[in-house]
Chain A
Amino acid sequence: MKLSRRSALGLGLGGLAALTLGGIGVSLSRTVPRSPRAPLQALDARQFAVLAAVADRVAPGDGKFPSAWDLLVPEKIDANLAKAEPGLAVELGMGLLLLENALAAMVLDGELVTFTRLDAAGQDATLQRWQDSPMQLRRTIYKALNGLCTATYWSSPEIWRLVGYPGPGAHLGVKELP
């Protein structure tokens, strides 16, 4: 598939495609599946599973705060991607596969497991490495995923009460200037 130069996430075509396609045979059977609670609109099942794993680490929940999974964050992101610029869902999906891709991880980081098969600490370490990576591609993918998960999570009304936010529209009265 051809992506324009001005791609949504600015992902490099050659390296991304090569890494993703090269590892597709290895990772296909190694992704820990997650069952979406709504029909997927933009991502495929494997991409959704990786996204859910990322969201779990962004907001794992702690008893007081619900987890991203509790708030259907992956499903909400999928639904929003279906309405976004068409290329964004494609690129984000490829970015998720790159994150999951065992071949890429083995080539670049010495790890032999896919992202979804790592334990929580391993996933946190992977995401931290991507956040700080000298490779712009990884930093861009991290920022996009973290940003989407964070924004979707914290915009959920279920969170407002827990953080002392009364919700929008608390007016303080009209202030007429002299």
Chain B
Amino acid sequence: MSGQIIAAETLTDGATLTCDVCVVGSGAGGATVAAGLCEAGLDVILLEEGGYHTRRDFDLQEQNAYPMLYQERGLRATDDGAITILQGRNVGGSTTINWTTCYRTPTRILRHWADRYGLDELGGDKLNPHFEAMEARLNIQEWPEELANENNRRLLEGCRALGYQVHAVKRNVRGCANSGYCGLGCPHDAKQGMLLTTIPDALSAGLRLIHHAQAVKLQREGAKVTSLSARVKRPDAQTDTGAGFTVNAKVFVCSGGAINSPALLLRSEINPNKLVGQHTLLHPVVAMPAIYEQAIEGWSGAPQSIASHQFVDRGPAMGFFMEAPPLSRCSPRAAFMASARCRLTSCPSSATSA
């Protein structure tokens, strides 16, 4: 590959880098944009706050994975602490630690955006070629029903018994070992996240990827953003070294995610319509554990391979999905079980749906 993977701490303190486009965030959005721009011949720098980790770093231990791969070491939450917000902080972003569930943006949502916000360019079939291209690049396919683990099979059979809509979920995997540890980084390189797909694509086309680099503030000259100041993070990606650098570019792309991107814009005082940081929407997840007579072993097997959208459209009421997430040891579900004095003695027989 002709690109470079650069640890920010190797840069000289106060250095100034120059490129055509500077992309902030190496997740689904940033990595894809960077790959496209590099392949179009542009000089691109991609900044990532987190570290560059590969399958050799993924030991499937939650106490290591959360601090290494997640925003705020897995402790990011709403101000009242009521909702934990799991987002990635690593090269590949949340695609490194998500559960491989892949859906196209629903047609009704695209129609809503077109009707309500005038985003006609996203309506109809206009996005289909792009969906198809990414589905091919990420090997997104329906996970066979016969491979559903027992946790998901309970959801499948329960929905069928009740006559609810239920379907197999599409996943971005290749050579999946069906281990169930998607949320802690895939040690088999089976998960086709940005780390294994668009980032290598971009590197092959000359990308400069700088990790452990936190974008702090965009600087403007008049109405045009001309540079970005960045902080160098220590290997823990949490604390600063005290060093920094600047990137000068013709164009900047904010792809730090639904929380970090608005935060960057607010720090940069870029908020012309006073809407930045407003109307943040979350998909809250409520877990429902259950005890079965037979063994479930919910930690094992691909998570969320079955889903029901029976209750997505509930008119004015909020709709919801029904899915079967992995059974994490440190999850709030464990807290529930402990508080109920179940003591998880029936751990092999417990299942979780959400």
Q: Which A residues contact B (CB, under 8 angstroms)?
A: 6, 8-10, 58-59, 62, 64-65, 80, 83-86, 88, 136, 139-140, 143-144, 146-147, 150-151, 153-155, 159-160, 162-165, 168-177
Contact = CB atoms under 8 A, between A and B. Distances in A.
B4 interface: no
A175 B80 contact: no
Contacts of A176: 175
19 contacts: A10-B79, A80-B73, A83-B238, A139-B80, A139-B82, A147-B335, A150-B330, A151-B334, A154-B344, A155-B61, A168-B299, A170-B179, A170-B300, A173-B178, A174-B175, A174-B176, A174-B178, A177-B141, A177-B173
Contacts of A10: 78-81
A173 B177 contact: yes
B347 interface: yes
Contacts of B335: 146-147, 150-151
Interface string B333-345: 0110010000111
Interface in B292-324: 299-301
B127 interface: no
A146 B345 CA distance: 20
Q: Report the 9 A-B pairs with minimum CB-CB distance, sorted nearest first.
A: A168-B60, A10-B79, A163-B347, A163-B344, A151-B330, A150-B335, A140-B81, A164-B348, A154-B334
Contacts of B179: 169-172
A163 B60 contact: no
Contacts, number: 116
B72 interface: yes
Given A10-B80, A174-B175, A83 B67 contact: yes
Contacts of A151: 62, 330, 334-335
Determine the main DSSP class of B at the interface with A. Answer: loop
B214 to A, nearest CB: 13
A155 B59 contact: no
